[in-house]
Structure 1
């Protein structure tokens, strides 16, 4: 059978394997399956193509444009999932594993598409934080902004998730407006290549936005600049070598790493056999040991249980692992497939032997286990070790067997459990199974500094929880120390890795223009009609309405109090109110002022304003007493399209009294027809 030829996509052209190509074996059979790699790739041409063609095209788009693009890509990949499933079996993954890799990757793109539309502006500049007033009268202000880097993101991915590993980096990169060169691990690059072909064939991306290296990168990293980013997933040793590339050091190239992690799971003392938490703990550990044959950066490598529960955990976990059917991942009855290659199998067994020097193997014999697949494949059984003296041990805390291998150890008290977890010297995730809130707080306080994520589960959340090993696009995925120090995904936080934060200083007018968001003190625009009569597309940022005044009477205050039931003493008892250091006597309700303000600026007739959806940043600055008057300034602060029918308008509302002193201010949100 001829080998599958796995190409690269470089500078707009598909390049077949050539000089230096490597043969890739099937994980299931060990037989040659594909060929990939070409040392003749013109890496400088690829970088130039990304920087000069892809980058400018992406930067012309707004965040919303790019978010819509991500959604379209996710839909396109969803339509071709079966082809990805069929090919991915050759990596040793089961159908359940495909759901994590392929469906999980597509789901990640959908999340970033949604966050781009909901949490980022329909603009090319992202405003990071609030305005800083740098002068007494507000004529000189500061604002942090984020803009896309003008280079390329080089993504170096691991073998275990050929689709999710690419898409979880690609989504925030493209949303930021930066082109990417993707380099998957060679052992599973054929799945990534198919996903890239689906993406490129769709025609959704602008030219130069995405390129693919199937095989080695050559000297690409030697050509990177301060505008480029390297995002790496893999071993700590490889990450260290890449970080030391002279160009990366000299040019301060951003280097985001997600690497080795000796993740732990702690069983709380309250979670005894017979409790929902004990059963949950055993289920979680078993799942994390066997999903993707343990080839997950977030898999549980160290199981930490109370000394009194060690035997019970061994018994329950062994019983559950015995039900795992190991074999050909294409078979419906298979629960755990193969490692990605026989080379990986040899590495896992070598690391397991190192762990075995300090711990006893209590379940799983790689030389004798039930196998429902070819003996030539990269199959191993789940292996559970017990370390009787984890304080003296070293290998169990620094050796990661990247397969279905985990070590159980006992703890004396909670401080001991936390100390053992922290011996990993930085983890992507530590999980805690407990129903005791005090235990949860103590573990978080003791272990958070060593973890990128702490996953806590109990009977209340177990039905909906996503699991110890599931990084979610909404949350940071990364960890300190040994785990690499990186922070991938994390919603909009992940997008910022591919942008430059810059402090902009200037007048309100300048900041309004740069951020396309009205800043107090900027010029106001007089619209041709009441702003509530104008459609979303007709309104201009800065368009302002000044209302007439209304006098607040004592009768207004008392009627509002009796009508609403809010008879708080500051509104109804003159002597009590006068004793309050904040009030001169009886004052108007804050909510009365808001109601009267609406009465001053609202246009009552049917029109393009569809709904009032919220109010942000409300502040009361000066009390209003009977006899005072209020007037309102209503300004279009920001416009955000939501769909083809309507968009969100953010209005700045300020209330002043008869002396033009600020009384209250807030931001009103409305949905306006387009």
Structure 2
């Protein structure tokens, strides 16, 4: 099996210390790849390469950047099945889900190529300023920030990597990517698409290995002008303390609420929750974790949801009929099982599921959940939905807002007034009406309130956050 090295200055390079590690399947512990283990000196070399790459790439015309990204997108399309196999092998998600993820990769790159080529400035009405006439002209320019550090999570090793690196590159920046330690092979496969498309040396660099070892060296370096991180709130808080003065985009934790009001279509809502709570074994920051149901319909909703959840096939990610695969590791599966047991000890009722077999957990439903309990307040990141009840719309919104998080939320109702009230009052970066929060278009702004993060992703928003605005004033002489 070929060992995967670091990508530095356009060359796949052995790590300075010569260390490599195996990447294991979460399902059966087979070796699915071997990758380099970088150290602080490797980070230094990668950042030096990115610094040089950024200087050249920023002055590459947008149409040339556009053409290279379109080639990379086409290669991602052509290699979609191979990339899906890699995603499933190292992440443990089902092939059905992995194919869906890989199939979106080329589209994200194409969208980024377009947005990165459309860096419009604006003219400034300087004559509106008292004491200034028509002798001055002002306008703004958008310019790349320079070196971007992208630190990606394991749960969507293609999509969440591309949502960082594609906009950064399209806007004229150079990138040092640190993939999740558990899922680096997908990043390497995607990087090869960019390399084969003709991306210049130093524009995309990859260092693999321990986040604890490499993270501070990456985010604190003064050569870095932008950090884009997706992960836990605790790690995001740490980044804000060590990064120094640079731009930050932090997409952090969540405990996503879905409110189902008294007039909702119960079967439709149950179908949506059965999808939104268990995709990728619940390892999604916008997964449905908390369901807040009007107490008049709670029993009917639980019955409808239970019948749908018990039909979800869990098992070997490579099997064509598997819908939900593994958690990322045995330690994560053990943590989720412990959280389910703690919830029951705190008074919740296990309606169905929760059985653990290694890294597999049967999709679970908990009812009678106290909204203040840990299962409702803390991010679970596992295949379980916790159901609480609400007296009315106001109470449901109050419970939806009751955690420190605010990334995504959903509400089910036929009442336009209630929908507008929720859209206005729910403290969340994204609010879905008559669907759960587990839906995302790659072009839309995406990011949270409160402890769920800083800044916005989504390709257009990411391009904006990976550029600087420069104001230019032309001074002429006044004339009569």
SS at match of 1:215: coil
1:384 matched to 2:365? The reply is yes
Name which of 163, 166, 170 aligns with 2:165: 170
For the Cα contact (< 8 Å) 1:112–1:473, is it kept in 2?
no
| 2:349 corresponds to | 360
Q: How many residues align?
A: 470
Name which of 195, 208, 212 aligns with 1:214: 208
1:67 matched to 2:66? The reply is yes
SS at match of 1:211: strand
1:58 matched to 2:57? The reply is yes
Q: Partners of 2:289 and 2:122 in 1: how far apart? A: 38
| 2:419 corresponds to | 440
Q: Partners of 2:469 and 2:148 in 1: how far apart? A: 17
| 2:7 corresponds to | 9
| Residue pairs, 1:235-384, within 5 angstroms | 235-245=232-242, 248-249=243-244, 252-271=245-264, 277-358=265-346, 359-367=348-356, 377-384=358-365
SS at match of 2:262: coil
* TM-score under structure 1 length normalisation: 0.66
| 2:148 corresponds to | 153
Q: Partners of 2:455 and 2:359 in 1: how far apart? A: 31
CA distance 1:58–1:328, change in 2 (3 Å): same
Unaligned runs of at least 5 residues, structure 2: none
CA distance 1:176–1:145, change in 2 (3 Å): same
SS at match of 1:29: coil
1:315 Cα deviation (Å)?
A: 0.7
Q: Partners of 1:170 and 1:238 in 2: how far apart? A: 20
1:182 Cα deviation (Å)?
A: 0.9
Name which of 421, 429, 432 aligns with 1:455: 432
| Residue pairs, 1:40-59, within 5 angstroms | 40=39, 41-52=41-52, 54-59=53-58
SS at match of 2:407: strand
For the Cα contact (< 8 Å) 2:10–2:200, is it kept in 1?
no
| 1:24 corresponds to | 23
For residues 399-436 of structure 1, give each alpha carbon's deviation from its aligned partner in whole angstroms, at most 9, with x where no partner exists: 22211111111111111111111112232210112221
**Larger Cα-atom Rg:** 1
For the Cα contact (< 8 Å) 1:306–1:411, is it kept in 2?
yes
Q: Partners of 1:382 and 1:454 in 2: how far apart? A: 25
For the Cα contact (< 8 Å) 1:44–1:223, is it kept in 2?
no
SS at match of 1:333: coil
Q: Partners of 1:436 and 1:211 in 2: how far apart? A: 51
| 1:500 corresponds to | 468
SS at match of 1:109: helix
| Residue pairs, 1:516-595, within 5 angstroms | none
The RMSD of aligned alpha carbons is 2.5
Q: Partners of 1:405 and 1:305 in 2: how far apart? A: 16
SS at match of 2:96: helix
Q: Partners of 2:277 and 2:452 in 1: how far apart? A: 19
CA distance 1:394–1:109, change in 2 (3 Å): same
For the Cα contact (< 8 Å) 1:477–1:490, is it kept in 2?
no
Q: Partners of 1:294 and 1:129 in 2: how far apart? A: 47
CA distance 1:488–1:128, change in 2 (3 Å): farther
For residues 180-200 of structure 1, give each alpha carbon's deviation from its aligned partner in whole angstroms, at most 9, with x where no partner exists: 111111111112212212321
Q: Partners of 1:228 and 1:300 in 2: how far apart? A: 34
Q: Partners of 1:422 and 1:97 in 2: how far apart? A: 30
1:98 matched to 2:98? The reply is yes
For the Cα contact (< 8 Å) 1:163–1:192, is it kept in 2?
yes
CA distance 1:309–1:24, change in 2 (3 Å): same
| 1:230 corresponds to | 227
SS at match of 1:287: helix
SS at match of 1:451: coil
Q: Partners of 1:267 and 1:76 in 2: how far apart? A: 43
| Residue pairs, 1:85-124, within 5 angstroms | 85-90=84-89, 91-116=91-116, 120=118
Farther off after superposition, 126-135 or 179-188: 126-135
For the Cα contact (< 8 Å) 1:351–1:399, is it kept in 2?
no
1:78 Cα deviation (Å)?
A: 0.5
Q: Partners of 1:507 and 1:25 in 2: how far apart? A: 63
CA distance 1:243–1:72, change in 2 (3 Å): same
Higher relative contact order (CA 8 A, sep 6+): 2
CA distance 1:242–1:21, change in 2 (3 Å): farther
SS at match of 2:157: coil
Name which of 140, 143, 166 aligns with 1:144: 140
